[in-house]
């Protein structure tokens, strides 16, 4: 049985060139770039709650880091360093090798270095901490949306939630649609380049981890404003349009978690700059509505009528939220 130290040395000790000191001492040492502020975020993934225990470990390594990088993207920060705390029921070397390969592949794609962590025996649990940099005083927060701002969203919505519904037997997708949705569920692409480019453009931003309405709701609450969304403008993933269960498709679009797109607000005068950003990044950015004075979120159909909806984001402590 390998020791904890052998496991760390074998799977989590690639050199970290941008840290003064990486894995191997009592703490890592890093020096932030002058003029930058550090953005720090942590996220926990529990087997049985956030992922199935038999999930492909390579995909899990990707996703554990991706969801954290998405939080930095939502702040407009460029990710630099990560720490990994992991509890494992046993020292499964093949599992660890695949997990660490998935994690390092995404880390390298974004110039992120693993600089420390903790390893323990216990029920399979992952906790990633990420550190990014953002020009001092210019981070995107949830609190800056103003009446008259336009509401934008990146990419397409609903595919990850539809993929989960397919896995859970709540719908049956054609093989091609299933593959597309499962890719979005298992290997989300954190919108890091978009987030950094939105500094100076967006007035507020958040990443969509719990569903569009729930996450936009956080912006509205923190900014003390309301919003009107145009339902027909929402960029539904292609698989949703082919889904026979219309109500399920609507729930995935409005309240599906796990998409990790960004929803953000910006003054209307910046519309052209945002459109050229979309072209430069090769990522669709869609205007979906407008911020209003007041509170709450109204959804309008294509005749301008208010639509009734009853969908909530995921809440671990709400009634019925069980592993
Ligand atoms: P300590 O007992 O001082 O906390 P540890 O034995 O827990 O030290 O860790 C030794 C070194 O290995 C530290 O630099 C720590 O940050 C790093 N480390 C431990 N587990 C991991 C991991 N899963 N991923 C990355 N680095 C890790
Ligand atoms: Mg330790």
pLDDT > 60? residue 321: no
27 lines ligand 1 (CB under 6 A): no
The reply to whether 88 and 186 lie within a common domain is no
The reply to whether 94 and 20 lie within a common domain is yes
The alpha carbon of 69 and the centre of ligand 2 are apart by a number of angstroms equal to 23
We report the CATH number of the domain holding residue 167 as: 3.90.650.10
Mutate to test the pocket of ligand 1, among 44, 101, 116 (most ligand atoms within 8 A of CB): 116
pLDDT > 80? residue 152: yes
What is the extent of the structural domain holding 57? 4-135
The reply to whether 109 and 164 lie within a common domain is no
Per-residue pLDDT tens digits for 298-313: 999 989 899 987 655 5
Say if strands 296-300 and 226-230 run parallel, antiparallel, or are unpaired: parallel
- Asked if 198 contacts 74 with a C-beta cutoff of 8 angstroms, the reply is no
8 lines ligand 1 (CB under 6 A): yes
The CA distances from residue 283 to 35, 155, 275, 277, 287, in Å, are 29, 6, 10, 8, 13
User: Which letter, b or e, does each residue of 40-69 get, where b requires 16 or more Cβ atoms within 10 Å of its Cβ?
Assistant: ebebebbbeebbeeebbbbbbbbbbbbbbb
Give the list of residues 6+ apart from residue 77 with CB closer than 8 angstroms, or none: 39, 132, 133, 134, 139, 195, 196
Q: What share of the chain is helix, strand, coil (3-state, %, to 5)?
A: 35, 25, 40
The reply to whether 47 and 72 lie within a common domain is yes
The reply to whether 99 and 203 lie within a common domain is no
| Rounded Cα–Cα distance for residues 215 and 208 (Å) | 6
The alpha carbon of 13 and the centre of ligand 1 are apart by a number of angstroms equal to 9
| Rounded Cα–Cα distance for residues 256 and 243 (Å) | 14
- Asked if 191 contacts 73 with a C-beta cutoff of 8 angstroms, the reply is yes
pLDDT > 90? residue 322: no
Per-residue pLDDT tens digits for 195-227: 999 999 999 999 999 999 999 999 999 999 999
Residue 246 forms part of a structural domain: yes
pLDDT > 70? residue 55: yes
The SS3 of residue 17 is: coil
The alpha carbon of 18 and the centre of ligand 2 are apart by a number of angstroms equal to 22
Element (H, E) at 287: strand 285-292
The alpha carbon of 141 and the centre of ligand 2 are apart by a number of angstroms equal to 32
Residue 53 pLDDT grade (very low, low, confident, very high; cuts 50, 70, 90): confident
The reply to whether 47 and 73 lie within a common domain is yes
Mutate to test the pocket of ligand 1, among 28, 88, 117, 122 (most ligand atoms within 8 A of CB): 117
Phi, psi angle pair for 317, to nearest 5°: -105, 0
The reply to whether 176 and 237 lie within a common domain is yes
Element (H, E) at 82: strand 78-88
95 lines ligand 1 (CB under 6 A): no
114 lines ligand 1 (CB under 6 A): yes
Q: Count of CB atoms within 10 A of residue 286's CB?
A: 17
CA nearest ligand 1 atom 9, residue: 118
Res 242: pLDDT: 85
Q: Give how many domains the chain has, as a whole number.
A: 2
Res 198: pLDDT: 98
Per-residue pLDDT tens digits for 251-299: 999 999 899 999 999 999 999 999 999 999 999 999 999 999 999 999 9
The reply to whether 130 and 159 lie within a common domain is no
The reply to whether 162 and 262 lie within a common domain is yes
CA nearest ligand 1 atom 7, residue: 118
CA nearest ligand 1 atom 13, residue: 24
The alpha carbon of 68 and the centre of ligand 1 are apart by a number of angstroms equal to 19
Res 312: pLDDT: 58
Res 313: pLDDT: 58
Start-end of H helices in 168-245: 175-186, 192-198, 212-223, 238-241
């Amino acid at each position: 049985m390998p020791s904890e130290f052998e496991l760390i040395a074998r799977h989590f000790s690639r050199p970290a060139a941008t840290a003064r000191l990486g894995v191997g001492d009592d703490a890592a040492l890093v020096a932030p770039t002058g003029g930058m502020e550090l953005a720090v975020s942590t996220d926990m993934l529990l087997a049985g709650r956030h992922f199935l225990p038999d999930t492909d470990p390579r995909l899990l390594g990707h996703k554990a880091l991706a969801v954290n990088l998405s939080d930095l993207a939502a702040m407009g920060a460029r990710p630099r360093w990560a720490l990994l705390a992991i509890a494992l029921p046993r020292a499964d070397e093949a599992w660890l090798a695949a997990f660490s390969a998935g994690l390092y592949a995404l880390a390298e794609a974004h110039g992120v270095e693993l600089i420390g962590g903790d390893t323990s025996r216990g029920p399979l649990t992952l906790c990633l901490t990420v550190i990014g940099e953002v020009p001092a005083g210019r981070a995107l927060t949830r609190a800056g949306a103003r009446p008259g701002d336009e509401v934008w969203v990146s990419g397409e919505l609903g595919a990850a939630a539809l993929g989960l519904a397919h896995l859970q037997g709540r719908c049956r997708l054609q093989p091609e649609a299933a593959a597309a949705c499962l890719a979005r569920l298992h290997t989300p692409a954190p919108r890091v380049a978009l987030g950094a480019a939105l500094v100076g453009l967006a007035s507020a931003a958040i990443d969509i981890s719990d569903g569009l309405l729930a996450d936009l709701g956080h912006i509205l609450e923190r900014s003390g404003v309301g919003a009107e969304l145009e339902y027909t403008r929402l960029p539904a993933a292609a698989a949703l349009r082919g889904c026979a269960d219309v109500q399920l498709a609507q729930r995935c679009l409005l309240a599906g978690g796990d998409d990790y797109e960004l929803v953000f607000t910006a003054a209307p005068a910046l519309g052209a700059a945002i459109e050229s950003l979309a072209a430069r990044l090769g990522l669709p950015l869609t205007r979906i509505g407008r911020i209003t004075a007041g509170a709450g979120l109204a959804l309008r159909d294509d005749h301008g009528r208010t639509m009734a909806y009853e969908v909530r984001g995921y809440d671990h402590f709400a009634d019925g939220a069980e592993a």
